[in-house]
Amino acid sequence: MTADVLASEVFGTVTLLDLLIFAISVVITIVIARVVAYYLKKSFCDRIQPAELSNLVKVIQLIILLIGVYLALPTFDINLADMLVIGGTIGIVIAFASQKIVSNFGSGLFLVLERPIKPGDSIQIEDITGTVDEIRILSTIVKTHEGIYVRIPNEKVFTSDITNYVVNVARRFEYIIGIGYHSDADAAIRIIRKLLDDHPFVLKHPSPSVFVDTLADSSVNLRVFIWAPSKVWWSVRTEMLWKIKLALEKEGIEIPYPQRVVSFPRDIRNRGRETYEKI
């Protein structure tokens, strides 16, 4: 009796059993899509903006649903070969039309997975320098240090050289400080070391180094290497240079201007004076 009911044709050659199998397939597909969405949200909630993540999840859910429906279609005796031809043709047309979009979408996915940058990072991509504001599905938004909004397609971000200034927890910077040839370099090094020791964010390890680097034209050049937490390195850099300058001046260490010593042989000087007197 039940078998008869299930085998009864509802419309055309489609039986109730076919409809039932199709419905169960779609329900299973929806469940799978929801489970995938749950795990995607859980895995990427800290990497993608909520609105972007929601869009991404919807797209992936739709793809899963389409695949599920496609796989369930044979129950209706639909010729998949025909559909493949039609679908393939449409697919090629769409692919050509949306080549850039797909490329940006794929690059966006890889950016999220590889995570070379994340919102809040200070970065440089080609000639654009700034802070990452948002990583969207198709583009990355960077706010430059001048406060300008820049939208970079993800394909460009992904294929460009990316410099991330804060991905490492600490970074090094350096100063070259010229002191006069008559100044005491040991004393200058001592003064600079004291300042570095006193600053909380000049890291203890790796320790800073201060040494005489070059005997330059106008000055003895001291080189100072400082490691600082990446989050605050710029403020440390700007603060310390002026403090070093003030401290050296206070201790009588000269920071000279460019200078050149010109020597004249005595006879040349005298000849010059005679010539001048004649004139």
Partner 1 sequence: MGFLHLEKVHSSNLRSVNLSEFHPDRTSILISGGHHLSVFGIHKYPFEFRRGDVFLSIEPGDRYSYYHRVVPGDDCRKMIGNREGRIVINPVEPVSLPHNVTGMIEFHFTPIVLEPGSTVKIYTVFPVDVGVFLEAADGYDLLDVFTLTKQKYSLYGTPEKGFITRHIEAEVSDTIPGTDRIKEGVMEIAMHNCGQGWVEVSRAVFEQSTMHLFYGSRVSMKAEMDVYSRMMAETRVLERPLEEGMKQSIRLISSRRSLIHEKPSFLMEYGVGDS
Strands 9-11 and 14-15: antiparallel
Residues in contact with partner 1, counted by CB under 8 A, come to a total of 16
Closest by CA to 33, choosing from 76, 5, 83, 67, is 67
Torsion of CA 64, 67, 68, 71, to 10 degrees: -160
Contacts with partner 1, 138-177, as mask; x by CB under 8 A: ------------------------------xxxxx-----
Candidate residues 208, 227, 244, 248; the one interacting with partner 1 per rule CB under 8 A: 227
Query: Does residue 43 belong to the site contacting partner 1 (CB under 8 A)?
Result: no
> Binding mask 228-247 vs partner 1 (x if CB under 8 A, - otherwise)?
-x-xx---------------
Q: Which of 87, 106, 120, 206 binds partner 1 (CB under 8 A)?
A: 206
Distance CA 256, CA 218 (A): 7
Which tokens go with 42?
């859980």
CB 200, min distance to partner 1, A: 4
Q: Is 189 in the site for partner 1 (CB under 8 A)?
A: no
Who's near 219: CB < 8 A, 6+ residues apart?
A: 178, 179, 180, 181, 255, 256
83 binds partner 1 (CB under 8 A): no
Tokens read off for 272: 């010059």
- Which residues form the interface with partner 1 (CB under 8 A)? 168-172, 198, 200-201, 203-206, 227, 229, 231-232
